[in-house]
A and B are shown apart, each in its own frame.
Chain A
Amino acid sequence: MDTIYLLFIVLLAAFLGFELIRKVPATLHTPLMSGSNAISGITLVGALVSAGSGSGMLTTLLGTAAVALATINVVGGYLVTDRMLGMFRKKDGK
């Protein structure tokens, strides 16, 4: 893919990220961090191809390790964020 095209995406995504995150209130900053842990597990998408493409033992092993680590982030990140956000209540009472 064209290098310039990729850099163009980088620029737009960075601006979008700043605009989105600026609106997150301080009270949700911890869930934001654990949630972004989960999102950064997107490396999984790249790792899946490396682990399954059968291009040599080294690639497969490195890819598998990357899959395992990224899955920890994805699964752990989303679950713990859900657990935390479930505790935020507006009204008194259970």
Chain B
Amino acid sequence: MTPISMTINLAYVVAATLFIVGLKLLSHPSSARRGNLVSSIGMLIAVVVTLLDQQIISYTYIIIGVVIGGAIGAWKAKTVQMTAMPQMVSLFNGFGGAASLLLAWATLSAIAPESRSAVSLFVFISLYFTLLVGGVTFSGSIVAWGKLAEKFPTKAIIFTGLRELSILHLIGLVVVGYLFVTQPENPLWLWLGIGLALSFGLWATLSIGGADMPVVIALLNSYSGVAACAAGLAVANTVLIVTGLLVGASGLILTSIMCKAMNRSLSNVLLSGFATPVEAGEKIEGDIKVLSAQDAYYVLEAAQAVLVVPGYGMAVAQAQHAVRELQSLLESNGATVEYAIHPVAGRMPGHMNVLLAEADVPYDHLLEMDDVNPRMENYDVVIVIGANDVVNPAAKEMKGSPIYGMPVIEAYRAKTVFVLKRSANPGFAGVDNPLFFKDNTRMVLGDAKETINSVIREFGDD
């Protein structure tokens, strides 16, 4: 090993260590920001020492690429709305996949055709795997981005022959893969491989409905890491392998958390579970009891313990700041206010927490489902804002319901439940909610932000 490559490899060890320490610091909100900084220093070290590499003879194109990418990245990071975070993460997953795909292609084109027989089989297998995972990640993420940003129809696109199409893709990928590895000098197999991977990602994601997008983003996040790892195997770069796998593991864990929270298996999500029409369950009996904002105020004024259950509807109504104001009023009135956040509330893992943090809600007031369910009876009032399925008792009570078995926040066990809703229609998943008909439930109909602001005004009046 030359002294320079020795230095580079040592610096990679330092960089990988900093990534690991950074992720470790992410285990608590108080140290997380420092963790992100540590991780970014690791990245800076890795990039700077790579520039010492003697294979690099010109910096012109590197500077062009870094300036363009840096400007776009910084602009995106500064301007993105917190409600639009799922789209952005999805788009970045796609860029990660595309970068790995292009790196694999560049690496292949740098090997002269006549010297390809001297390159080991392992390199070509890794290259092909990188093209495949990178391509699927790219096209899948672009579709996910389009669905989340509502630029494409959010409904699952299902047609007969979809399963056969997927199987054909898989067979095609294996056959082309074999030809690519055995005849690396023929560019046809390269293009066919990239084309198949892109088309596979496209169809696989188009056939998944909007409600399942949180799972899909988490999975594509994982793929973008796996693609980086595969690229690392192809160019024999250990820091790429280690770091790519850290990301791969992260995405996979989030995917499994999301699936558990919906009581569905990953294959059920990917092969479109909600798309198949479900037999209508039992008919829900009972009347809806409507409450005015003014009457809601009288109940809240007397309450000692209040729990807020937010859903994506809260973000759509931009009600989080009003909720925060109500929290202050209730607290100065002597009540405790806590928030219960379901793992699949919002459009990506942890989305509600970020939106509430933006509205200045302290993070120690944000509780997980398993923390609040055992002491649900102690809450005088539960306010459900823009959430539906995550508080749906049908998951416990109705065997025929499509969400039966899904763990939910058991709001119905509290003394009183306020449901803030535009109308009494079913939610995103199109499932009826028996919570609306419970004896202790009061519907406060109208725009969530308006409703909360009316309650806040009532507090101001006395």
Contact = CB atoms under 8 A, between A and B. Distances in A.
B208 interface: no
B217 A76 contact: no
Please report whether the interface of chain B is mostly helix, strand, loop or mixed according to DSSP: helix
Interface in B33-67: 33, 36-37, 39-40, 43, 46-47, 50-51, 53, 55-59, 61-62, 64-66
Interface residues of B, number: 111
B65 A88 contact: no
A26 B69 contact: no
B236 A1 contact: yes
Given A25-B29, A26-B350, A59 B93 contact: no
Contacts of A83: 77-78
A47 to B, nearest CB: 5
Nearest to A5: B238
B32 A39 contact: no
B350 A32 contact: yes
Residue from B30, B47, B88 having most chain A Cβ neighbours under 10 A: B47
Contacts of B251: 33, 36
Contacts of A44: 47, 99
A42 B229 CA distance: 10
B65 A79 contact: no
Contact of A92 (B68, B102, B351, B362): B362
Nearest to A27: B353
B32 A28 contact: yes
Contact of A84 (B57, B82, B245, B362): B82
B233 interface: yes
B373 to A, nearest CB: 14
B249 A21 contact: yes
Interface string A43-74: 11111111111111011111111111111111
B105 A80 contact: no
Interface residues of A, number: 83
B95 A73 contact: yes
A32 B250 CA distance: 8
B150 interface: no
B62 A42 contact: no
Interface stretch (B218-226, B399-407, B439-447): B218-226
B247 A58 contact: no
A21 to B, nearest CB: 4
A57 to B, nearest CB: 9
A35 B43 contact: no
Residue from A17, A32, A77 having most chain B Cβ neighbours under 10 A: A17
Contact of B55 (A28, A49, A66, A76): A49
Q: Which 5 A-B pairs have the closest CB atoms?
A: A71-B69, A17-B249, A67-B65, A29-B350, A76-B73
Interface of A: 1, 3, 6, 9-10, 13-14, 16-18, 20-56, 58-92, 94
Given A43-B99, A67-B69, 19 more contacts: A1-B236, A13-B242, A14-B249, A17-B245, A20-B20, A21-B249, A31-B36, A33-B350, A52-B61, A59-B106, A64-B61, A68-B66, A68-B69, A68-B72, A71-B66, A72-B73, A75-B70, A77-B92, A82-B36
